[in-house]
Amino acid sequence: MQAYLTSEEFQLEISEEIANSKDFKAPLIYTLDSTIEFYSNQLGLDFTYEIYNLNQFKKAKLPKSIKSMLDKSIQTGDPCITNKSNSDSEYYKNFLLHYYENLDGKFVTVLSSYQTEFDTFDKSLIKILHNVIYDYYLQYNYIYDVTLTMVKNEEISYNK
């Protein structure tokens, strides 16, 4: 999975998502959907996710234990995990929460699963996903802005 995330193919796919949406959330959704597919097909593991802006997260109907993880994620800059104590229980979920800030705002990504227990690899992967996508997002926007400036300058020169 990590090799794919750094591939030229992935960068082109993410660039297309960014170009079509002009925001950070769309390529993140695309990547998380791809990750879900990989986990399901290759590892037989399933999870779901929600992406909240900070205000949505504070209003969301989530267990208090999940909401309390936000402060720790903000302080450490790392994702947080809480796995249910009884892995046989089908009524409780495991959670992975990641808080992040970027030019678009403050966000919280929450992964959850009834069966899959999250671990340190998952924490690292979710942080890497966000960082790689954001890096591509910034690169795309920089190139877009430079290109737009060049086109405007050419139009001004042409019209003189």
Residue for token pair 């802005």: 145
Reduced to 3 states, what is the DSSP secondary structure of residue 119? Answer: coil
* pLDDT, tens only, 109-141: 999 999 889 999 999 989 988 988 888 888 877
Contact 51, 107 (CB under 8 A): yes
* pLDDT, tens only, 51-100: 999 999 999 998 888 899 999 999 999 999 999 887 666 778 999 999 99
* pLDDT, tens only, 6-62: 678 877 887 788 878 878 888 899 989 988 988 888 888 899 999 999 999 999 998
Contact 52, 97 (CB under 8 A): no
The tokens describing 57, both together, are 């997260």
User: What pLDDT sits at residue 56?
Assistant: 95
